[in-house]
C-alpha cells in the first residue's frame, strides 16, 4: 500500500511538472508571436548606426494628406488631414526590423517594417497590395463578399482571408486571433463609428489611410506609396505611380485640344437632398480633365454640396450629360419610376446617361470604388470616351456603362 501511495505521489508530481512546462512553452510562444521576427531575412542582423537602411525613397508629389521623413533606420509618416475638419493628425514611426527605435516618440505608434501580416478594412487598399505583390501577407478584410481585386478574390476562394467587419461592427476578438502586424483603415472623426480607437485600445498597430480626402484623382492614387512604406516597397511604388501619372497626363493632353466642352452634372436625389461634388473636388477634376464643362465648376469647395431638386433642375435641365447616379438604376425606365421629374432633364430625354457601375460583383461590390481609385488613368479614358468618342475610337468601357 505504501509503495502504491509513493507511486501515486510521483505520478502527480510528474503531471504537474508537465503542465507547468506546457504553460511556460505556451507563454514563450505567445511572446515570440507578438514580437518582431528578427530572424526574418528582411531584418537586420548586425546593426550599423551609420548605414542608411532605406536607400529607395518615395517622393510625395500629388497627395496632400501625408508626408514622410527618412532617417537612417526609421521613417516618420505624418497624416495631415485624416478626415473633414479634423483637429488632430497622426504620426507613425516605421523602424527597420532588427534596429533600435528612436527616443522621444511622444504618442506616435512604432511599427517594425517590413510588416509580414496585414488586415485591410477598406477595399480601396487592396489594389495597393496587389500592385506591390504582397497579397500573400493579407490575413483579413472587412467584407470578403464585396472584393473585386482579382489576386485577393483568388485568396478568398482558398479560405485564407477572414471577414473581420468594420466600423461599429468590427470583430476585435477575430482580429486578435489573427494577430496581424498592421491594420490599415480610415477615419471619419465619429467616435461611435470609427473602428481605429477600439483597435488601438486592444494593443494593435493601426494606420489610417486618408486617401478619400484628396481633391484630385492622382492625389488619391498616390496613396499607393503610403502603403508601400510599411513593406519597404518604395522603389516599386514609385515606378508604378509614375507610369499611372504619365498615362493620365498623356490622355489629359488629348482632351485639352477639344473645341467644345459638353455640359454635365452628376449625382441624384437622395431622401430629398442632391449631393453635388464641389468645384474643387476630385470628381470635378476628372470632368475638367476629360474635356467636359461641369456646371458646378465655379464652386470653390472640395466636398459635397447639399442641394435641392429644384436647384438642380434650375441649372442642369439643359445639360447634355448626366453621370454617376444611383447604382441600382440599370435602365432609363427605372430612373423615371423613381421620380418623374427626372424626365425633365435634357440628358434623360436624349439618352445621355452614364453610370460608373459596369464592374459590380454579384454582392454589389463596385470596382469603380476599388480598382478605379488606384487606376485613375483608366477612369479618365472612360470619361473621355463618353464626352469625346472620336478621340478614342477603339476604347471599350472599363468602369462606365450607358444606361438605356
The residues of the chain scoring below 70 in pLDDT are 1-39
Instruction: Identify whether 190 is part of a domain.
Output: yes
Cβ-contact 195, 121 below 8 angstroms: yes
Please tell me the predicted confidence (pLDDT) of residue 155: 97
Q: Are residues 145 and 212 in the same domain?
A: yes
Instruction: Specify the pLDDT at position 168.
Output: 86
What sign has the CA pseudo-torsion 278, 282, 285, 290?
Answer: negative
- Residues 228 and 337 occupy one common structural domain: no
Give yes or no: residues 293 and 227 share one domain.
Answer: no
Give residues with Cβ within 8 angstroms of 304, minimum separation 6. Answer: 275, 276, 277, 278, 281
Tell me what pLDDT residue 392 has.
Answer: 94
The per-residue pLDDT for range 132-188, each reduced to its tens digit, is 999 999 999 999 999 999 999 999 999 999 999 998 899 999 999 999 999 999 999
Same domain, 264 and 228: no
Total domain count for the chain?
A: 2
pLDDT number for residue 192: 87
Do 212 and 326 fall within a single domain? no
CB 263 within 8 A of CB 321: yes
Q: Determine the pLDDT at residue 244.
A: 98
The boundaries of the domain holding residue 164 are 66-233
| 296 three-state secondary structure | coil
Residues 225 and 84 in one domain: yes
CA dihedral of residues 276, 281, 283, 286 (deg, nearest 10): 140
Q: In this structure, what CATH number is given to the domain that contains residue 313? A: 3.40.50.1980
Q: Is residue 272 part of a domain?
A: yes
Distance (Å, rounded) from C-alpha 382 to C-alpha 241? 19
Say if residue 210 is in the same domain as residue 298. Answer: no
Q: How far apart are CA 151 and CA 135, in angstroms?
A: 7
pLDDT for 3 equals: 46
One domain for residues 208 and 73: yes
pTM reported for the whole predicted model: 0.89
pLDDT at position 304 is 94
Domain boundary among 193, 217, 233: 233
- The neighbouring-strand residues paired with 95 are 74, 112
Concatenate the DSSP letters of all residues of 99-146 into one string.
SPPPS--TT-EEEEES-S-EEESSGGGHHHHHHHT-GGGEEEES-GGG
Residue 140 in any domain: the answer is yes
Residues 218 and 288 in one domain: no
- Alpha-helical runs (H) found in 180-281: 196-201, 217-221, 224-229, 234-256
Is-contact 48 153, C-beta < 8 A?
no
**Residue 193 and residue 279 share a domain:** no
User: What pLDDT does residue 5 have?
Assistant: 45
Domain membership flag for residue 241: no
Amino acid at each position: 500500500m505504501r509503495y502504491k501511495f509513493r507511486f501515486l505521489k510521483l505520478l502527480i508530481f510528474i503531471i504537474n511538472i508537465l503542465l507547468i512546462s506546457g504553460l511556460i512553452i505556451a507563454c514563450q510562444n505567445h511572446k515570440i508571436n507578438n514580437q518582431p521576427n528578427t530572424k526574418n531575412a528582411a531584418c537586420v542582423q548586425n546593426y550599423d548606426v551609420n548605414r542608411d537602411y532605406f536607400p529607395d525613397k518615395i517622393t510625395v508629389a500629388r497627395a496632400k494628406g501625408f508626408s514622410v521623413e527618412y532617417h537612417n533606420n526609421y521613417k516618420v509618416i505624418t497624416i495631415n488631414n485624416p478626415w473633414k475638419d479634423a483637429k488632430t493628425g497622426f504620426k507613425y514611426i516605421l523602424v527597420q526590423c532588427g534596429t533600435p527605435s528612436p527616443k522621444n516618440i511622444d504618442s506616435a505608434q512604432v511599427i517594425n517594417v517590413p510588416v509580414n501580416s496585414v488586415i485591410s478594412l477598406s477595399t480601396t487598399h487592396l489594389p495597393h497590395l496587389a500592385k506591390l505583390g504582397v497579397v500573400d501577407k493579407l490575413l483579413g478584410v472587412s467584407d470578403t463578399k464585396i472584393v473585386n481585386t482579382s489576386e485577393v478574390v483568388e485568396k478568398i476562394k482558398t479560405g485564407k482571408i477572414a471577414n473581420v467587419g468594420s466600423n461599429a461592427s468590427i470583430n476585435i476578438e477575430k482580429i486578435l486571433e489573427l494577430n496581424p502586424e498592421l491594420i490599415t483603415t480610415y477615419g471619419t472623426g465619429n467616435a461611435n463609428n470609427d473602428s481605429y480607437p477600439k483597435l488601438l485600445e486592444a494593443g494593435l498597430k493601426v494606420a489610417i489611410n486618408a486617401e478619400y480626402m484628396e481633391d484630385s484623382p492622382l492625389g488619391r492614387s498616390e496613396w499607393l506609396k503610403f502603403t508601400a512604406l510599411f513593406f519597404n516597397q518604395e522603389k516599386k511604388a514609385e515606378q508604378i505611380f509614375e507610369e499611372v501619372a504619365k498615362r493620365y497626363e498623356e490622355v489629359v493632353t488629348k482632351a485639352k485640344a477639344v473645341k467644345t466642352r459638353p455640359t454635365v452634372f452628376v449625382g441624384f436625389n437622395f431622401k430629398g437632398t442632391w449631393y453635388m461634388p464641389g468645384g474643387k473636388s476630385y470628381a470635378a477634376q476628372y470632368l475638367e480633365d476629360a474635356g467636359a464643362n461641369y456646371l458646378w465648376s465655379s464652386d470653390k469647395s472640395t466636398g459635397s454640396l447639399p442641394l435641392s431638386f429644384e436647384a438642380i433642375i434650375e441649372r442642369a435641365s439643359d445639360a447634355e450629360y448626366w453621370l454617376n447616379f444611383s447604382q441600382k438604376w440599370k435602365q432609363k425606365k427605372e430612373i423615371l419610376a423613381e421620380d418623374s421629374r427626372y424626365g425633365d432633364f435634357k440628358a434623360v430625354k436624349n439618352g445621355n446617361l452614364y453610370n460608373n457601375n459596369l464592374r459590380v460583383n454579384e454582392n454589389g461590390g463596385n470596382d469603380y470604388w476599388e480598382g478605379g481609385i488606384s487606376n485613375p488613368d483608366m477612369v479618365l479614358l472612360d470619361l473621355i470616351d463618353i464626352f469625346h468618342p472620336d478621340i478614342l475610337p477603339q476604347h471599350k468601357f472599363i468602369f462606365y456603362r450607358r444606361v438605356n
